[in-house]
Structure 1
Amino acid sequence: MSAIAIALQASGDVAQARSTFCVGIIVAATCGASVIYGIERWSLAKQTAVHFAVMVCTVLPALLASGWFPLDDFWGVALVVAVFLGTGAVLWTLFALIGLRTRRPR
């Protein structure tokens, strides 16, 4: 994604370059942090808290920098935070249900 963003930047398409770079950060952070849920000695609460902290430090700034949302006032920033929290809650719930359903007894 970084190479594509650099090529877009070089071609003069700054908005698309920024957007592509932010998508790369979001995908890399999300995929990279997913291994947290594989640490079996941690409780689900600890896994969730650490994963959330990583997302706050990576995905949330990427969303704010992406240019996808108007950030002219408080409500624009509030929208980004709401989308971040809402999407995270839905995905966490979905994957928790899938994990519970596919968990094999030990």
Structure 2
Amino acid sequence: MRFKQIWSTWGTVVVGLFLVVLGIMAALSPAPRCEGVPMTPGQTCVDRGRFGAERVNTYDEKIRTNRIVQWAAPAAGVVLLIFGGLRVARSRTAAAPD
């Protein structure tokens, strides 16, 4: 029960902040990289996943993904911040003595 209560209040605020920071980081570093080296238009890159899976990405795919993260992550983060903030405020007013 305690986990559910924390997730519904402060957990949403923390996840919202994480998503906003993720979007800001994507906006501050828009140039795609391959193995730490900046990519040029038309270049392809083989990304190796954590468990050995390989994926071929092009410069345009990385730019497109970065643009999605730049806009979607902060938008979802702000929604979670508002939702979590309202829940925190409501739980504090409900717990306040009269």
Fold conserved between structures, TM > 0.5: no
| TM-score grouping bracket, smaller chain normalisation | 0.3 to 0.5
If asked which structure has higher relative contact order (CA below 8 Å, sep 6+), I would say 2
Q: From the two aligned structures, give the one with the greater strand fraction.
A: 2
Q: From the two aligned structures, give the one with the greater helix fraction.
A: 1
Greater Rg, structure 1 or structure 2? 2
Task: Tell me the TM-score normalized by structure 2.
Answer: 0.35
